[in-house]
Amino acid sequence: MKPSEKSRRSFLKNAALLSAASAFPSIITKAWGGPAPKTIKPGEKVNLACIGIGNQGGSDVMSFDKTGLANFVAFCDVDMGAPQTLAVLQKFPNVPRFQDFRMMFDKMGSQIDAVCIGVPDHSHFAITMMALALGKHVYVEKPMARTFNEVELMMKAAAKHPKVVTQMGNQGHSEANYFQFKAWKEAGIIKDVTAITAHMNSARRWHGWDAHIKQLPPKEPIPSTLDWDTWHGVTQLHDYNHDYINGQWRCWYDFGMGALGDWGAHLIDTAHQFLSLGLPYEVGMLKAEGHNAFFYPQSSTILFRFPERGNMPACDITWYDGVNNLPPIPKGYGVMGLDPNIPPPSSGSLQAPKLNPGKIIYSKELTFKGGSHGSTLSIIPEEKAKEMASKLPEVPNSTSNHYANFLKACKGEEETRSPFAIAGPLSQVFCLGVLAQKLNTKLQFDRKTKTITNNKMANEMLTGLPPRKGWEQYYKV
């Protein structure tokens, strides 16, 4: 029996979700939620399995290593030994290696406390659901998943496993911007926010592609080292093309979440959390240059509308991407140059953007200028900043970066700052934005029923296409 089939049958055997408990007789439980996470004693390291060890996943491995809190027990990558994985493999040559995460869980599950999932957007869901059902703490890269419904199921699964720690990988959510925004909101400096501009104007991988495309790229030979079938996860099988792998997956609606899913979690995360924005009631395309059915526009302007919340006024977020699709810049904005705190985009382009990725937050009394990731806000214009200087509260330093925060939470020493309960609705905002991009239309959204009310096709796309055969079980909660 193939490992994937073994895991699939284990999944179906033991739970409404997946537990694969037949591979681990010692940890079968009667409760729905499957095994509870193992207690990690003080002084012990977290036994961490990393799924995806090239590109961003490889960066995550190195970042976890720097914390001094992780003990790597397994590495998994569908193209193990490819150039992008070599740095990790050379540094940690003795860690067991796998190409299929299901085989990894079958063989190593009892030795794993937590997993890091650094794979393409479309593959986050199934790995996360399996890990949660096995009682493994989960760190998954942003955005949480590719469809609204997948994120919903991930949140429900996490809620049914309350002892399992979750964290989405928007690393700036443990840095200075997080603590500053929280302190300024609590002190009443940030209040009555009515509008936010978020912008990412760097070149993207798909910029310059033919927007008149009529079909997906032509079939090419599959590299001998690549497990192309497992790479797809729950998505329907595609013919191989080099423009699907190594970051190129981000370009396609079938696999990635475009510029919004890539950078939105680094730009609007603190505003979304501390302003209690939740889900929008309307999402509309104001611009979609180069719109087509297959990959993301060359430039997008998307308007997200959020209602009043308690004593907070209604708020609009306007998203801009595209090299020349620059947002309006308020008087007193100042320098537009690059911020050293913001990592360069992964487009491979060395071209400097015309405007640093960031946001502008408009309240009834003040305007704030911010960057991305952990970059802090400033009050503009400068004259107003000087006037407010004496009123600003002291901002505490972070006790841990995002990776250490996760591992400390696994040990019961901290709580994660971007758990699924917080990161899930944020990721769903991106899912709604991507639907508006793909259909190039305005969507009316019912926040209570979580349905799109003015477009039947779009409402069906909240769930997306059925999973391919053999992957259905991950959708059962």
For the chain, give percent helix, strand, coil, nearest 5.
35, 15, 45
What's 118's DSSP letter? Answer: -
Q: What is the pLDDT of residue 356?
A: 87
For residue 198, which of 268, 286, 278 has the smallest C-alpha distance?
268
5 has pLDDT over 70: no
Q: What is the pLDDT of residue 16?
A: 35
User: Residue 46 — pLDDT band, cuts 50, 70, 90?
Assistant: very high
The residue behind tokens 């949660």 is 132
Q: What is the pLDDT of residue 339?
A: 65
Q: What is the pLDDT of residues 81-129, one digit of tens each?
A: 999 999 999 999 999 999 999 999 999 999 999 999 999 999 999 999 9
What are the tokens at 63? 């970042």
User: Residue 26 — pLDDT band, cuts 50, 70, 90?
Assistant: very low
Q: Find all residues with CB under 8 Å of 469, minimum gap 6, and list them.
A: none
Q: Is 195 left (phi over 0), alpha (psi -120 to 50) or beta?
A: beta
Q: What is the pLDDT of residue 21?
A: 28
Average pLDDT (141-161) is 98
Percent of the chain beyond pLDDT 70? 89
What are the tokens at 143? 């955005």
Look up the pTM and report it. 0.91
User: Do you find a cis peptide bond into 381, omega within 30 degrees of 0?
Assistant: yes
User: Residue 435 — pLDDT band, cuts 50, 70, 90?
Assistant: very high
Q: What is the pLDDT of residue 30?
A: 32
Q: What is the pLDDT of residue 335?
A: 72
Question: Could you give the domains of the chain?
Answer: 3-171+416-420+466-475 (3.40.50.720), 174-209+249-394 (3.30.360)
What are the tokens at 115? 């997993």
Residue 470: is it exposed, middle or buried by C-beta count within 10 angstroms (0-12/13-18/19+)? exposed
Average pLDDT (194-202) is 96
For residue 118, which of 63, 155, 71 has the smallest C-alpha distance?
63
436 has pLDDT over 60: yes
- 8 Å CB contact between 53 and 118: yes
Mean pLDDT over the full length of the chain: 91
455 has pLDDT over 60: yes
- 8 Å CB contact between 236 and 341: no
User: Residue 41 — pLDDT band, cuts 50, 70, 90?
Assistant: confident
231 has pLDDT over 80: yes
More confident residue, 142 or 41: 142
More confident residue, 27 or 306: 306
Q: What is the pLDDT of residues 304-351, one digit of tens each?
A: 999 999 999 999 999 999 999 999 999 899 876 656 667 766 654 545
Q: What is the pLDDT of residue 353?
A: 61
Q: What is the pLDDT of residues 268-289, one digit of tens each?
A: 999 999 999 999 999 999 999 9
Q: Is 20 left (phi over 0), alpha (psi -120 to 50) or beta?
A: left
Q: What is the pLDDT of residue 27?
A: 27
Residues 283, 433, 168, 174, CA torsion sign: negative
Q: What is the pLDDT of residue 15?
A: 34
Q: What is the pLDDT of residue 355?
A: 85
- 8 Å CB contact between 133 and 112: no
Q: What is the pLDDT of residue 8?
A: 44
Q: What is the pLDDT of residue 22?
A: 27
7 has pLDDT over 60: no
Q: For strand 97-98 and strand 367-370, is the pairing parallel, antiparallel, or unpaired?
A: unpaired
Average pLDDT (157-169) is 97
The enclosing H or E element of 70 equals strand 70-76
Average pLDDT (351-364) is 85
Q: What is the pLDDT of residue 17?
A: 36
- 8 Å CB contact between 263 and 357: yes
69 has pLDDT over 90: yes
